[in-house]
Amino acid sequence: MSILKIGGATVNQTPLDWKGNLSNIVNAIDEAKSMGIELLCFPELAIIGYGSEDLFLSRWYPEKALSQLKSLLPYAKDISICIGLPVRIGELLYNCTAVLEDQKVKGFVAKQFLAIDGVHYEFRWFTPWEAGKITSFDFFGEAVPFGDMVFSKNGFTYGFEICEDAWRGELRPGYRLKSRAVDLIFNPSASHFAMGKSQLREELVTESSIKLNATYFYVNLLGNEAGRMIFDGETLLAHQGKLLLKNKLLSFKPYQVNAFELSSQIGELPEIKSDHDKNLEFTSAITLALFDYMRKSRSRGFVLSLSGGADSSSIAVLVAEMVRRGVEELGIETFLKQAHLALEIKTSNPTKEITGHLLTTAYQGSDNSSCETLNSAKSLAESLGATFYDWKISEEVSSYTQKIEHAIGRELTWAKDDIALQNIQARVRAPIIWMLANLNNALLLATSNRSEGDVGYATMDGDTSGSISPIAAVDKHFILQWLQWAEKHLGYSGLEKVNSLQPTAELRPQDQHQTDEEDLMPYPVIVEIEKLAIRERRNPKDIYLILQQELDIPNVQLKKYISKFFRLWSRNQWKRERLAPSFHLDDFNVDPKTWCRFPILSGGFTEELHELDQLDQ
């Protein structure tokens, strides 16, 4: 049997960064050649980036992608290269992988199934290719085969399933590749990150190697490419049901190359056993996403209104962890260069010193703020090395309150004007923290989580203000347990005070003992309701019947929780429409621009909640 050294190259690309994208590709090819790789596969749409959005609808953008492909031909010497790009034929655009060999394009393989669920809208731009069809494409005057085909190298036959192609059960192209007796199937992908998804991919790859009777090689994109979706750069290889190759995920490096040698000895290789920890996955994904967002937006760091509570504290720790991980993987010099930070390290703790330059925090206390949250915020900022400011907003709150009292001719009271008096405190914090972000040329970090997004428990133009909202796609229950984990397993001792506090907005007078869960409902209950209502799209009655069996909550109280969730959900869609861009991190989210669309105006589940009330009567 012949020997073939194959490789997967994952790259961190950016739409419209033609020079940077090409540089990543060329550097990866050069590294692959130095490793003796003979057949190298890049991810889906690697030339231009998966997140190009409506740029795909233009004519010039796919045309320029072809020009970029042409510029790669000189590098296809002594190596075969498979790389993704969009190709337009007439009025139709196809998602393709091009195979380059001997400095020529050997053929284009087009994707047959398009992703249209969750965060994906591929049918807006692309057309699926017909199985078994092959045509000819004019590539700068040369006729090149285009469509559904296989290739060979060193006696090995290989073909492709492009991302979504592999997830279509009995319809997937892999079964037709099996009938053609291919030895190797590449899966170049642009598969978004979600906690727990790596385990699903491992199952897909290992099972595919059995079902399709071929070595199965999966290569994914890397990084926060265009703002919201994160790609983990996963590279997997399996043979006869055994996972034989898995790389380090969510790397801060601009590219990774992983090699594997196909030979008669492949069956004797030991199987890889991998661990999956959602806390680690979450940490790795957000830290890389923050780093990419900062450097690609050419921002000079981050500004954060640090309340001393769970949400803002988790974000502060994640920025510090971004620095720690980035410096550890890239080295100080490369990290600073990629972060566009001109800094001469002067202390024995470079991670803390860099954090101080990149993260500026402020505690904005009101008359209702406590010493406990101030001490929590200050202690955490000092432990991280973040710049910390402390000021009061009482004067601004009083000024606005007096103006409106004078205008309407009466005094505002907590008994009558509760929401307005709470919201003004959150809103007056926004202008000054935005001012600090502008002065620093930094990104303002919003602190809302998904549970708050569900029920609108946030002040628009207050705590929702920000350039990005890093944790908006995860629930509060997860954040609370992650903070405990981060204190223990990541060594962030500054979280001790944070973890001792009960979540509260601190917007009402302290003698009212305000807590988030008293205002809403227990966070674990919100999590269970939202999974059924949003992820599984069930109605209130079905949710009640399911949770009645699963939760130890009296029926009357459970109905109240479910009714409250649906009323607040439907009333607050307008808030979700205006939230700052957030990272997709879980198997679902409530961002209307990516995962969950809902009408701003609706009947608010009136009939459905009436049906719920009639149960058990």
Mean pLDDT (whole number) for 266-273: 88
**pLDDT classification of 128: cutoffs 50, 70, 90:** very high
Mean pLDDT (whole number) for 178-193: 97
Q: Give the span between the Cα atoms of 525 and 214, in whole angstroms.
A: 45
What the block records as the tokens of 265 is 């000895």
Backbone φ and ψ of 417, nearest 5°: -125, 35
pLDDT digits (tens, 9 = 90+) for 308-358: 999 999 999 999 999 999 999 999 999 999 999 989 999 999 999 999 999
Q: Give the span between the Cα atoms of 275 and 254, in whole angstroms.
A: 25
pLDDT at position 362:
98
pLDDT digits (tens, 9 = 90+) for 441-473: 999 999 999 999 999 999 999 889 999 999 999
**pLDDT at residue 98 above 60?**
yes
Mean pLDDT (whole number) for 366-377: 94
Cβ atoms of 540 and 563 within 8 Å: the answer is yes
**pLDDT classification of 511: cutoffs 50, 70, 90:** confident
pLDDT at position 397:
96
pLDDT at position 197:
96
Global confidence as pTM: 0.96
pLDDT digits (tens, 9 = 90+) for 11-64: 999 999 999 999 999 999 999 999 999 999 999 999 999 999 999 999 999 999
Q: Give the span between the Cα atoms of 166 and 174, in whole angstroms.
A: 7
pLDDT at position 545:
97
pLDDT digits (tens, 9 = 90+) for 468-497: 999 999 999 999 999 999 999 999 999 999
What the block records as the tokens of 555 is 């029926």
User: Which of 187-201, 378-392, 508-522 has the least mean pLDDT?
Assistant: 508-522
- Max Cα–Cα distance, the chain, nearest Å: 91
Decide the pairing of beta strands 255-262 and 302-305: unpaired
pLDDT digits (tens, 9 = 90+) for 232-254: 999 999 999 999 999 999 999 99
Scanning the structure block, which residue is given the tokens 């260069």?
Answer: 337
Top-confidence residue, 516 or 586 = 586
Mean pLDDT (whole number) for 63-86: 98
Could you give the angle at the alpha carbon of 73 between the alpha carbons of 69 and 76, nearest 5°? 120
Scanning the structure block, which residue is given the tokens 């979700």?
Answer: 576
Could you give the angle at the alpha carbon of 149 between the alpha carbons of 147 and 152, nearest 5°? 140
Share of the chain above pLDDT 70, in %: 100
The tally of CA atoms less than 13 A away on the side-chain side of residue 123 is: 6
pLDDT at position 43:
98
pLDDT digits (tens, 9 = 90+) for 542-582: 999 999 999 999 999 999 999 999 999 999 999 999 999 99
Top-confidence residue, 519 or 401 = 401
pLDDT at position 26:
98
**pLDDT at residue 1 above 70?**
no
pLDDT at position 2:
84
- Which residue, 214, 197, 139, 211, is CA-closest to 168? 211
